[in-house]
Amino acid sequence: MSHPLSDRINSLPVSQTLAMAAKARELKAAGKDIISLSLGEPDFNTPNFIKNAAIEAINQDYNSYTPVDGYTELKEAICTKFKRDNDLSYQPNQIVVSTGAKQSIANVAQVLLNPGDEVLLPAPYWVSYSAIATLCEAKFVEIPSTIETDFKITPEQLKAAITPKTKMIFFNSPNNPSGTIYSEAEYRALAEVLEKHPQIFILSDEIYEHINYGEKPFSFATIDTMYDRTITVNGLAKAFAMTGWRIGYIGAPQWIAKACTKMQGQITSGTNCIAQRAAITAVLAPVSKIQYMVDEFKNRRDMVLELLGEIDGLKLNVPPGAFYVFPDVSSFFGKTIQGRTIHNANDFSMLLLEEANVATVTGEAFGASNCVRLSYAASVAQLQEAIQRIKNVLS
């Protein structure tokens, strides 16, 4: 029997980060000794002070439907956080809380994009950006960058990519998968180009904001001329080790927030009540409370760069944020390793999975076909073992 699925779902690619994580889990369940560096997920537990807030909420009988855009107390707490951490002034009616930043981004795309609109994606970019644009029947336009420029695009490239059909650009700093952080000056130079094109909206995904090693990330909406057309996206997953709690949010012009609420009201309604109560405690907590995780990520990054640096042929840069390294592996293309000819980053990633038992994500998924992504949100012992295995296979 044929399965008459819609063209929409048939043309949608599977999320490669999730697919690789699922594959690693499957192989592990089948008895293979896989080390998964595929998923961008902190290996810490959610801090106790946040867990206690959730337990309290259960005991206080928070169990009813929540307002579609989030509890007022949470939206107020998010406004306080935006002011404190980002020098951004938002009112609660500009905030929408969603089931993870992924839903926040999907809402924004759904309410702003029409079929045929163009969305600019500075590459490398997170896997789901392109898929979310495609679901809106918009066309995504990649702006490439390489490891030589620390994976940053230039204002000239941005200018050249803009057409009358350009409706949005998705920025993400600190970046997944490259760990790159744009400086204030770099963002201001890009904003100067965008100032000449008032039809373009900016989605600024700041989910890795707190995972930085000294270089404080800049919030795009603090540029006066950009505030009215920027949607600031953030969430709790990465900084607070709360991936499974699914809390994301936006700060946006009120009319966009209102439209996102309308969209969400027809698809998921308000986000989980317990997770929202815990989120109030999390967003109001001083950033110093999560610094131990950031410090540990930095130690791991330094160790991973040192160990990977001993492998000939991997081109590396120093990512100042997030918890990924994104080596350029193109020097292996055309070579035969363990009887396999490596044509591209997919082959390289599969080589690591099948011969080294290490799961990574191909750069193809992120619009960067010379690279692979390794998440270092794993234990030191696992990272050391994984890199040793990679080294054995490649030498």
Q: Which positions touch ligand GLU (CB under 6 A)?
A: 15, 17-18, 39-40, 102, 126-128, 176
What letter would DSSP give residue 227?
Answer: G
Residue 274's nearest CA partner among 43, 47, 79, 51 is 51
CB 278, min distance to ligand GLU, A: 20
**Token pair for residue 119?**
């969305």
Q: How far separated are the first and last CA of the chain, in Å rounded?
A: 49
Residue 29, SS3 per DSSP: helix
Of 145 and 176, nearer to ligand GLU (C-beta) is 176
**DSSP states of 330-358:** GGGTT-EETTEE--SHHHHHHHHHHHH-E
CB 13, min distance to ligand GLU, A: 12
**Token pair for residue 363?**
């750069």
CB 321, min distance to ligand GLU, A: 14
Looking at this protein, which amino acid is placed at residue 293? M
Residue nearest ligand GLU, Cβ-based: 40
Strand partners, 79: none
CA distance 359 to 271: 32
Of 126 and 187, nearer to ligand GLU (C-beta) is 126
Of 181 and 194, nearer to ligand GLU (C-beta) is 181
Of 102 and 300, nearer to ligand GLU (C-beta) is 102
Judge contact between 304 and 387, C-beta under 8 A. Answer: yes
CB 324, min distance to ligand GLU, A: 8
Buried b / exposed e over 373-394, threshold 16 CB at 10 Å, is: bbbbbbeeebbebbbebbbebb
Of 15 and 183, nearer to ligand GLU (C-beta) is 15
CB 15, min distance to ligand GLU, A: 5
Please name the residue that has the structure tokens 């946006």.
Answer: 252
Of 43 and 76, nearer to ligand GLU (C-beta) is 43
**Token pair for residue 95?**
């905030």
Q: What are phi and psi of 250, to 5 degrees?
A: -125, 155
CB 361, min distance to ligand GLU, A: 7
Of 176 and 362, nearer to ligand GLU (C-beta) is 176
CB 18, min distance to ligand GLU, A: 6
**Token pair for residue 154?**
């230039």
